[in-house]
Structure 1
Amino acid sequence: MNTTEIFLIAMLIIFSLPWLVWRVFNTDYFAPLVVVQIIMGILLGPGVLGKWSPEYYQFVFTPAVVQSLNGIAWWAVMLFVMIAGVELDLAQAWKHRRESGITAGLALGSPLLLGCGAALVLLQFPGWMGPLAQHWQFVLGIGMACAVTALPILILLMEKLEILRHPLGQRILRYASLDDIAIWGVLALILMDWSRIGKQVVFLIAFVLLGWGFRRLMAWLQERDRWYVALIWLAACGFGADWAGLHYMVGAFLAGAIMDAHWFDQDRLDQLRHHVLLVMMPVFFLSTGLRTNWAVGGAEVFAAAALLLFVSVAGKLIGVRIAGRVLGWGPGEASVIGWLLQTKALIMIIFANILLDKQVITSETFTALLLMAVASTMLTVPVVAPRMSAHR
């Protein structure tokens, strides 16, 4: 078979298997389709399919096919991260700055500290820290991975729970938006390359100057043109950030964060997010699964994942509970908000991909983080739904 035919076989597997598992086993309550796709990406990777059937794995996932899949995955995740940036509602966060600042700060800080503690534990054993990382980068990277809230997946889960447009849902979005900014800011700090500091300064200056012109242009354009110009801006920011040694996904987030959501029709923006998830992101999940590794040992990877899951969930719940006491929330609110904010899924997987690309973590650490992200997301709806019923 030629490369095109093998590529289409890979696409057939990527889209058919997760959908069949999701539909036949009716997993939507505890594992939405996006989570099933992530799990199938892991199963189709070298750690499972590659060990169970190496001949089949090597036949389908040839270097040429993997490179083609990676190209789709890069653009898919750039679109997804840009949309997450657009959806940040900083005006509302500023309007309710005391409540939002206290809650977002505690919801981020508590799991960050516990996650840094877990990273220090992992440092006592070989095979977890990447070859190009300094100790502080590894510790801060793992800590922030434990503190991440996946804003786009949070939106999907709150839609499922029918609270997205309610006051509680809007509050949770404000908290997650502030944490999202902190997450990407810390990531930029971790990725700062002092040998390329000149390029990074040039990129940031160019981003500020061109961003000013871009905002004036977007305000002047009609909406139908804004969608196309936004894609041009996305490609330019991604290139600039990667050229400067940050990462193309940092550029994608900055490209979206500088845009105003009201420039776009909200329904069309929601549709774009759903379509990217439907049409392109499954390729990213498979591409992510191909990077998993169990070389340290399956038991050790699962133990690391369990530790990271515990500190991320416990840290988020502790931080939000403290915020609830300070702000005088009603009974049950802190529990619901804490469990929703601990949702990891895509943003943490994207975050971990960047750390792996920059060799801050090893593929074994990446696998543990991926398992933690899947487990945390699968816990959310089954835990929150009964609490929402009681709350109502």
Structure 2
Amino acid sequence: MTPAAPAMGTTEIFLIALTIIVSVPYLAWRLLRTDYWAPLVVVQIIGGILLGPGVLGAAFPEYYAFVFNQQVIGSLNGIAWWAVMMFVFVAGLELDITDAWANRRETTITAAGALLTPLVTGAIAAAFLLRGPGWIGPNGTYPQAVLGIGMACAVTALPILVLLMEKLGIFREPLGQRLLRYASLDDIAIWGVLALILVDWHRVERQAIFLAGFAVAAWVVRALFRRLEESDRWYVSLIWLAVVGFAADWSGLHFMVGAFLAGAVLDAHWFTRDRLDGFRQFLLLAVMPVFFLSTGLRTKWDVGGLAVFGAAFLFLVASVAGKLVGVRIAGRILGWAKGDASIIGWMLQTKALIMIIFVNVLLDKGIVTNETFTALLLMAVMSTMLTVPMVTPKLRALAKPTVH
């Protein structure tokens, strides 16, 4: 009798899952040439949705139970947590507060228009949707969920915006630098609102301890960084990141809030631009695909597929319309040239990373359900997919010489 083949161990299954995570979205992106409509980041998120329990897992439950079992999911989550902490840390690090302050009137008016109007339209859409059951999480209240969804509709993903600006060739142009200022200020507001949403009145004492301790620790760390060589700064920054992430999570906020704060209090000029760009590219290449796909794996359709898609479309309309109207109002106040408001409004639609991180926190804290999370995830994907096709012809029109 031939002996039975030994069962695969967790390590082998994990490597199978990792092979799928790295290869399938890349091959789809490259072979289908989706870059114009769907950058690789978007394809990776869509890949997670298709490979997750709601689609392929529902069609082939044995496949899903084998490849993405509890042990493998736990290992992937560990990688995803650390990956996204480092990525959010870099996003906080690269906020140029000095430049935003030098152009504070224009930056404040535009950032306010790009944030507040879609926040209001998104909150109105949420207030309508949340009347039905199945959208508010077990630990969430109606105001928390409305504000969270409204903020999700207002978010601009600064890292993805940078990638798309590089693709369109405007990153180093004056327009690109303006976009960075607007998105940077909105990033600060996003994490501030998240901290407000997550305030746990039963843990206010811990949160007060965290904020007070963080203020003192940030002052000490900044003084230390001024005396360190760059190579040491990289090591110390990772220690600082882990400690602040732990402290924020312990206080009842979230480790991603801590990660952003850990980066925001440091100065980007303490790190050379080439190494910082290289570090960001490494994260996007090597570890962030795990986060993107693990995000997709969390999608569920228990409320019903049509209801989730309907909610996603409602959020998309609220987000896009609110952002375009808010930026156009800012352009009128500031007297922008013709065409600027439309380009800026569409560029600030990019949501596929920071919004997903933001909504992941709401899901982790039980403020929204998996169905709400899925609808917002679909909205983020669709919003980001619209950016390049809408902006490309507008940039070409601006580049054409005017005929007199």
Q: Structure 2 length normalisation: TM-score?
A: 0.96
Q: Which residue of 1 aligns with 2:65?
A: 58
Tell me, in whole angstroms, the C-alpha distance in 1 between the residues paired with 2:296 and 2:121: 27
> Which runs of 5 or more structure 1 residues have no equivalent in the other structure?
none
Shift of 1:49: 1.4
Query: What letter is aligned with 1:292?
Result: T
Q: Which residue of 2 aligns with 1:353?
A: 360
Instruction: Give 3-state SS (helix, strand or coil) of 1:220's partner.
Output: coil
Tell me, in whole angstroms, the C-alpha distance in 1 between the residues paired with 2:301 and 2:239: 39
Q: Deviations over 1:287-309 (max 9, x none)?
A: 11121110000000000000001
Tell me, in whole angstroms, the C-alpha distance in 1 between the residues paired with 2:321 and 2:338: 19
Shift of 1:123: 1.4
Q: Deviations over 1:197-219 (max 9, x none)?
A: 11100010110000000001111
Q: Does 1:175 align with 2:182?
A: yes
Tell me, in whole angstroms, the C-alpha distance in 2 between the residues paired with 1:335 and 1:182: 23
Q: Does 1:192 align with 2:199?
A: yes
Q: Does 1:307 align with 2:280?
A: no
Q: Which residue of 2 aligns with 1:382?
A: 389
- Figure out how many residues of one structure are paired with residues of the other and give that number: 392
For the pair shown, the structure with the greater C-alpha radius of gyration is 2
Q: Which residue of 2 aligns with 1:121?
A: 128
Query: What letter is aligned with 2:124?
Result: G
Once the two structures are superposed, the pairs formed by residues 21-100 of structure 1 within 5 Å of their partners are: 21-100=28-107
Query: What letter is aligned with 1:258?
Result: V
| Equivalent position to 2:376, from 363, 369, 379 | 369
Tell me, in whole angstroms, the C-alpha distance in 1 between the residues paired with 2:325 and 2:277: 32
| Equivalent position to 2:215, from 204, 208, 211 | 208
Tell me, in whole angstroms, the C-alpha distance in 1 between the residues paired with 2:178 and 2:25: 33
Tell me, in whole angstroms, the C-alpha distance in 2 between the residues paired with 1:332 and 1:69: 44
Q: Which residue of 2 aligns with 1:151?
A: 158
Q: Which residue of 2 aligns with 1:298?
A: 305
Q: Which residue of 2 aligns with 1:11?
A: 18
Identity level (%)? 68
Query: What letter is aligned with 1:161?
Result: L
Tell me, in whole angstroms, the C-alpha distance in 1 between the residues paired with 2:131 and 2:205: 35
Q: Deviations over 1:81-132 (max 9, x none)?
A: 0010011011011000000000000110000000000110111211011111
Query: What letter is aligned with 1:98?
Result: R
Q: Deviations over 1:136-181 (max 9, x none)?
A: 1011000000000000000000000110111110001000000000
| Equivalent position to 2:343, from 336, 348, 363 | 336
Shift of 1:27: 0.7
Query: What letter is aligned with 1:337?
Result: I
Instruction: Give 3-state SS (helix, strand or coil) of 1:345's partner.
Output: coil
Query: What letter is aligned with 2:33?
Result: N
Q: Which residue of 2 aligns with 1:222?
A: 229
Q: Deviations over 1:48-98 (max 9, x none)?
A: 111010001001111111000000000000011001001101101100000
Shift of 1:391: 1.1
Shift of 1:135: 1.1
Q: Which residue of 2 aligns with 1:252?
A: 259
Shift of 1:336: 0.4
Query: What letter is aligned with 1:195?
Result: H
Tell me, in whole angstroms, the C-alpha distance in 1 between the residues paired with 2:353 and 2:100: 23
Q: Structure 1 length normalisation: TM-score?
A: 0.99
Query: C-alpha root-mean-square deviation of aligned residues, in Å?
Result: 0.6
